[in-house]
A and B are shown apart, each in its own frame.
Chain A
Amino acid sequence: MTGTRVDIDPQQAGRDLAALVLTVVELLRQLMERQALRRLDLGDLDDGQEEAIGTTLMMLDRRMDELCAQHGLRREDLNLDLGPLGTLLPDGA
Chain B
Amino acid sequence: MTYATYVYAVRRTGGPEIHSPGHDGGGPVRLLPLGSLTAVVQDVPAAEFTEEALRQRFTDRLDLERCARTHHRVVSAAAAGAATVPLPLATLYANDVRTKVVLEEHAERLSEALHRVTGHVEWAVKVHRDTAVPLLEPDADADADPPAASAPDEPATGREYLARVRDRRATRERRQESALDAVDLVDRVVRTVAVASVRRPLHGVELTGRDRPQVMNGAYLVPQDDERLLSAALDTLRQDPRLSGFAVEASGPWVPYSFASVALTEGVGRDGAPA
Contact = CB atoms under 8 A, between A and B. Distances in A.
Interface of A: 1-2, 4-5, 33, 36-37, 40, 47, 50-58, 61, 76, 81, 83-84, 90-93
B172 interface: yes
Given A2-B59, A58-B155, A92-B172, A37 B166 contact: yes
A54 B166 contact: no
Interface stretch (B8-16, B97-105, B157-165): B157-165
Contacts, number: 55
Contacts of A92: 131, 172, 175
Nearest to B52: A2
5 contacts: A37-B169, A40-B166, A58-B155, A90-B172, A92-B131
Nearest to A84: B201
Nearest to A36: B162
Contact of B161 (A2, A61, A90): A61
A37 B20 CA distance: 63
A77 B169 CA distance: 19
Contact of A93 (B59, B155, B160, B168): B168
A54 B158 contact: yes
B172 A2 contact: no
Q: Say whether chain B's binding surface is mostly helix, strand, loop, or mixed.
A: helix
Nearest to A50: B159
Nearest to B169: A37
B240 interface: no
Given A40-B162, A50-B159, A58-B161, A93 B56 contact: no
Contact of B162 (A1, A2, A4, A53): A53
A51 B157 contact: yes
Interface of B: 55-56, 59-60, 131, 155, 157-162, 165-166, 168-169, 172, 175, 201, 204-205, 210, 213
Contact of A57 (B158, B175, B201, B210): B158
Contacts of B169: 37
Contacts of A76: 210
A74 to B, nearest CB: 10
A54 B204 contact: no
Contact of B160 (A37, A54, A84): A54
A92 to B, nearest CB: 7
A84 to B, nearest CB: 7
B166 to A, nearest CB: 6
Contacts of A4: 56
B201 A37 contact: no
Interface centre among B159, B201, B210, by most chain A C-beta atoms within 10 angstroms, is B159
Nearest to B176: A90
